Amino acid sequence: MTRPVSFVGPLPPPLHGFSSVCSMMLLRLRSGGAVAVFDRAPRAGNRAREMLRQLREVTRYFAAIQASTHAAVYLGLSGGLGQAIDGLYVLLARLLRRQLFVHHHSFSYLNRATPLNRLLFSQMRAATHIVLSEGMGSALAQRYRIRDIDIRVVSNAAFLGVPMPPLPPPSAPTRSESPAAIRIGFLSNITFEKGIVEFFDVLTQLRRLGVRYRGSIAGPVAADAQSTFERLLAAAENVEYLGPLYDDTKAGFYQRLDVLLFPTKYQNEAEPLVIHEALRSAVPVLACARGAIAELLSNGAGMVFEQGAFVMSAANALNALSQDRPELARLRQLAFAQAQRMQLRAEAQLTEVIRQILQ
């Protein structure tokens, strides 16, 4: 017999990493018991109407947990000012003595604590905290005095299923053959924060180094980056833009790559799903050091550079890999092995957390 659960978190649309993982967590919870859903994603057309809608959801939530004496509360915690609304859910859960499970998806309140963060976390010290990595858990414990025994690590790899065996990489050329162009990709929301300018800067450096490459870019273009992106794309050589990709077309994108670049400058980057997807396709990743990315790319699954050094470091690494195809093949194997390890560990961790929420 499982207890009812109140699920509080954003659900698509809009579709992004946070809402995507929340929707997959909801599916897992529903497979084990009764779940009442309180969607935190914005739905109304303007701020005032949205605030009223959110307050109505809080009122409905209060009635639901008041009626279920043994209910647990799962909260996908907002990274910014949305914590003011999250705090109402937390306060009511405390008042009615409901067990609270808080799922963390952002490094914003770990990188810098605001008065709102401190106030909210002072009310959540008795909760069970679900984090994305060991490093995220350590940062949470240190900044907000959360006990280690109240922290559970569940990587987003748990939600992606078992990695499929990768396609074999192209065979290495003989000494009489010139190496094929190295295939480089970028997949993300195309914004300045996600590093689209730096991606093109890497290609410029590769041309200066005489490295043959083919570039592929996928993802929706943000309005404020549109003109810059169009200008850079028109000036670049051997680069194609494929638009937003989903499902099988996204899988095909990774199968055409040797290396994925993820030059994010987003200050609060956490554990990007795109990196998991690349590793599952045996594609090593060159990325900026943000959030849990270094932990994802441990054991040789890729390379992590500081933001200011990314362009030259990535270009030099790609130059070396373009001339050493056995090493590139080795990195591909390490990337896939890392994906397998993370998925098996994360699936076991998620299963245990689901059991604790529903028990």
Contact 298, 134 (CB under 8 A): no
Instruction: Tell me what percent of the residues of the chain surpass a pLDDT of 90.
Output: 86
**For 5-153, CATH number?**
3.40.50.11930
The predicted pLDDT at position 79 comes to 93
Rounded mean pLDDT of 238-261? 93
pTM for the full model?
0.90
Cα 288 to chain centroid, rounded: 14
The predicted pLDDT at position 176 comes to 43
Q: Binning pLDDT at 50, 70 and 90, where does residue 174 land?
A: very low
Domain ranges for the chain, please list them: 5-153, 182-341
Considering only CA atoms, give the Rg of the chain. Answer: 22
Q: Binning pLDDT at 50, 70 and 90, where does residue 257 land?
A: very high
14 versus 61: the higher-pLDDT residue is 61
Q: Binning pLDDT at 50, 70 and 90, where does residue 166 land?
A: low
pLDDT above 80: residue 244 = yes
Rounded mean pLDDT of 199-205? 98
Q: Binning pLDDT at 50, 70 and 90, where does residue 1 land?
A: low
Same fold, 5-153 and 182-341: yes
Q: Which of 93-102, 126-135, 177-186, 253-262 has the lowest mean pLDDT?
A: 177-186
The predicted pLDDT at position 324 comes to 95
Q: Binning pLDDT at 50, 70 and 90, where does residue 297 land?
A: very high
Tokens standing for residue 314: 């990535």
Report how far residue 97's alpha carbon sits from residue 90's, in angstroms, rounded to the nearest whole number: 10
The predicted pLDDT at position 164 comes to 66
Report phi then psi at 335, rounded to 5: -65, -45
70 versus 128: the higher-pLDDT residue is 128
> What CA dihedral angle connects 292, 296, 301 and 306, to 10 degrees?
0
Q: Which CATH class is domain 182-341?
A: alpha beta
Side chain identity, residue 73: V
